[in-house]
Structure 1
């Protein structure tokens, strides 16, 4: 049987650990003899939310596993257990496939497994992962990454996506679909994390851009240009561009386009407006333009986004 070791130490989030155990620890009907042999590995009792769990094996057992899963940690600013990092590195060097769920990616980074590889984690922590491990190719938009023997998942539900992906690799699409049906989730989700990310404006109130950004938010349905924005704060388009990149990390026109798409998301969630009407209300002009830019920024078409995120309060 394919052995799966859940690598644990320190304070863990219970959702991701529960997801891994649910998927790898419960074979679908007819696959009992060819499923996974799952074990919980750690240096001692493990704190998982309000619960304490007793491991089946010590961390040295990771080096004997076919697949090692590193669940999510409560606080990425907590010092990572050295023995865990070393055990995960040793498991990889022994030939194991290593996958992280959510903030478990920080353990893989500390073990040196993300250097030169695509990686992700929960969107709220991707900047921190990139800063801590500059050699990693951090992608904040995807639900998971697969580098062969090193895989990473984004936050929460993306742990389900990655675990189902591993089942698909090991047992095929039909079995993965069976597991997904049991969990009442899609076997594969379109798009990436961008569709779940909120983008609040974080500019202090006394900064001249704060007033400009608020002014733009009230006029997203209008055909604004960079020159219009610069004129509003009595500066040149070039100087405005420097300020925008310094404060928002984007050029003015890119920031404006992103805000139009975010407004479109709100309208798709909360109204019955047609795609054409949403395009006009957000300054996109045509449904074709909205669909193209929405898919580029969010990762899924607006029609699919509406089906997935339509607020139950609408109508």
Structure 2
């Protein structure tokens, strides 16, 4: 039987802690037996998890005696790691143990130096802080999970379920993983390269363009040109491009398309309107342009995005 240790650190996020417990703990093999033995390990006998406290079954020494270690996120991912955790993770890695993180649990792996020189992901909201703290890691915040062989990382919330199901498939095959997905009421398969379904121009803190961004939000459905946006800002297109890129990392028209895609996401989630109609309503000139821009920003085609959210609601 495959053994899994879930690492409970102080101030752990209970949802991320419970994800591997529930997914792995419910895996049943063809003969009716369990596929995994799951245990909770920690540096302390009891740790805080938001308003709850979690008792740990085993200490850090167990990390070198299992097949897989899963590291959930903490509410403060940059908080110092308790003594002994880094050494235990390094010892587990040296032994050949598979180590996976959920959401901001990647911060714990990176702080231990395990991700240096490797691709990794985390929740998109923590991407900037992660890059600043761990420049040696090749961060890709645009995917659901990344499998680097012995080291795996996932994005936030339900992406942790996707990663756990991916590991089940690696261990026992697609049929067992499909059964586990049905028990988790999750899509049967979302690849790691699928986007996190977030358009990151939702926030632009510290910008000097708040009035213009608010105007774009209200008028993105129109047939806007760069000249239209520059006229609203009362500046030249050249100056506008320079200011926009400096403050948002995007061109004005990239921002406009991002707003349109985000509006389209909301319509795909909440209405039964056809893809072509939605594209027109949010401001795209043609269905082909809408599909191209949606895939570029969201990482999947509009219908694929809608299907995923319908699967989640079933």
Task: Write the mapping of 1:146-161 to structure 2, written as runs, cut at 5 A.
Answer: 146-161=147-162
Cα pair 1:119 1:152 within 8 Å, conserved: yes
Instruction: Identify the residue that residue 245 of structure 1 maps to in structure 2.
Output: 245
Larger CA deviation: 241-250 vs 160-169: 241-250
Q: In 2, distance between residues paired with 1:308 and 1:162?
A: 16
What are the residue-to-residue correspondences of 1:109-124 with 2, within 5 Å? 109-124=110-125
Q: 1:313 — aligned with what?
A: none
Post-superposition CA distance 1:84-106 (Å, at most 9, x none): 12211221122111100111111
What RMSD over aligned residues (CA atoms) do the two structures have, in Å? 2.3
**Residues 213 and 147 from structure 1, CA distance in 2 versus in 1: closer, same or farther, beyond 3 angstroms?**
same
The answer to whether structure 1 residue 64 and structure 2 residue 65 are counterparts is yes
> Could you tell me whether the CA contact under 8 Å between 2:26 and 2:180 is conserved in 1?
no
Structure 2 length as normaliser, TM-score? 0.89
2:131 match: 130
CA 1:132–1:274: 2 relative to 1, 3 Å = same
After superposition, the Cα gap between the structure-2 partners of 1:231 and 1:203, relative to the gap in structure 1 and judged at 3 Å, is farther
Q: Displacement, 1:35?
A: 2.1
Q: How far apart are the structure 2 equivalents of 1:2 and 1:29?
A: 12
CA gap of 1:75–1:140, structure 2 versus 1, over 3 A, is: same
Query: What per-residue deviation string (whole Å, max 9, x for no partner) do you get for residues 261-306 of structure 1?
Result: 1222233334444322222222211111111111121122212333
Tell me the CA shift for residue 197 of structure 1. 4.8
Structure ranking higher on relative contact order (CA contacts 8 Å, 6+ apart): 2
Contact 1:11 1:74 in 2 (8 A): yes
Once residues 58 and 272 of structure 1 are traced to their aligned partners in structure 2, the CA distance between those partners, rounded to angstroms, is 51
Q: Is the 8 A contact 2:7 2:70 kept in 1?
A: yes
* Residue 182 of structure 1, CA deviation: 1.6
The 5 Å alignment of 1:284-299 reads: 284-299=284-299
Structure 2 distance, partners of 1:273, 1:169, is 38
The Cα shift of 1:38 comes to 2.3
1:127-206 correspondence runs (5 A): 127-189=128-190, 192-197=194-199, 199-202=201-204
Total equivalences in the alignment: 308
Distance 2:51 2:205 in 1: 37
1:91 correspondence with 2:95: no
CA shift digits 1:207-263 (9 cap, x unpaired): 4x3232233233223332223322332322222111001221112221122122122
* Helix, strand or coil at the partner of 1:98: strand
Does structure 1 retain, via aligned residues, the 8 Å contact 2:29–2:176? no
Q: Which residue of 2 aligns with 1:23?
A: 23
The question of whether the paired residues in 2 share the 8 Å contact of 1:123 and 1:193 is answered with no
Change (3 A) 1:231 1:112: same
Deviates more, 1:174-183 or 1:2-11: 2-11
Indicate how the Cα distance of structure 1 residues 52 and 275 shifts in structure 2: closer, same or farther if over 3 A, else same: closer
> Could you say if the C-alpha distance between residues 203 and 61 of structure 1 is closer, same or farther in structure 2, counting changes exceeding 3 Å?
closer
Q: Name the counterpart of 2:283.
A: 283
Q: What SS does structure 2 have at the residue aligned with 1:81? A: coil
Equivalent position SS for 2:219: coil
Structure 1 distance, partners of 2:3, 2:29, is: 19
**Hey, what does 2:266 align to over in structure 1?**
266
